[in-house]
C-alpha cells in the first residue's frame, strides 16, 4: 500500500483508513494494551488507567514507507506520546549552543 503523508490532509486521511485502524489494533494487542515507555520505566500504564495511542517511531511524515510497518510502531500512553512529540519539537531549539571546537575536543595525541 502506497501511503501519501506529505500533507496534513493526507495524514489525516491515513489515520482514518481501514488499514491503519486494523494495524493500530494489531499493535495494541501485540503490546498487551500497555504503554511501552511506562513499561520500560517499571510502571504499568494500560487501557485501564490511560488513553493509549500508537506511535510511529520513525515519523510518518518523513517515512511514509514505514507507515504500516509493525517494527516502526509501538503503543504509548497519551502522556508519553505528548512528551515525545513536545521533545521532538523543542529539542533542536533548546540544545546548548555549540562550544568552541577546541574546548570540546579531547585531544590527547
Ligand atoms: Zn506511558
Quote the ligand 1 centre to 49 CA distance (angstroms).
10
Averaged pLDDT, 37-53: 96
Ion ligand 1 neighbours (CB, 5 A) are 35, 37-38, 45, 77, 80
Quote the ligand 1 centre to 78 CA distance (angstroms).
7
Integer Cα distance of 53 and 75 in angstroms: 6
Averaged pLDDT, 49-67: 95
4: Cα within 13 Å, side-chain hemisphere:
5
Q: What is the mean pLDDT of the chain?
A: 84
Residue with cell 575536543: 105
Averaged pLDDT, 75-80: 96
Residue 63 in contact with residue 15, Cβ under 8 Å? no
Quote the ligand 1 centre to 75 CA distance (angstroms).
9
Amino acid at each position: 500500500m502506497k501511503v501519501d503523508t506529505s500533507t496534513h490532509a493526507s495524514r489525516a486521511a491515513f489515520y482514518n483508513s481501514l488499514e491503519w485502524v486494523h494495524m493500530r489494533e494489531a499493535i495494541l494487542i501485540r503490546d498487551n494494551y500497555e504503554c511501552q515507555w511506562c513499561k520500560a520505566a517499571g510502571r504499568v500504564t494500560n487501557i485501564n488507567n490511560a488513553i493509549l495511542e500508537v506511535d510511529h517511531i520513525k515519523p510518518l511524515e518523513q517515512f511514509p514507507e514505514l507507515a504500516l510497518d509493525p517494527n516502526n510502531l509501538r503503543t504509548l500512553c497519551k502522556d508519553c506520546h505528548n512528551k515525545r512529540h513536545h521533545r521532538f519539537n523543542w529539542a533542536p531549539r533548546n540544545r546548548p549552543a555549540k562550544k568552541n571546537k577546541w574546548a570540546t575536543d579531547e585531544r590527547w595525541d
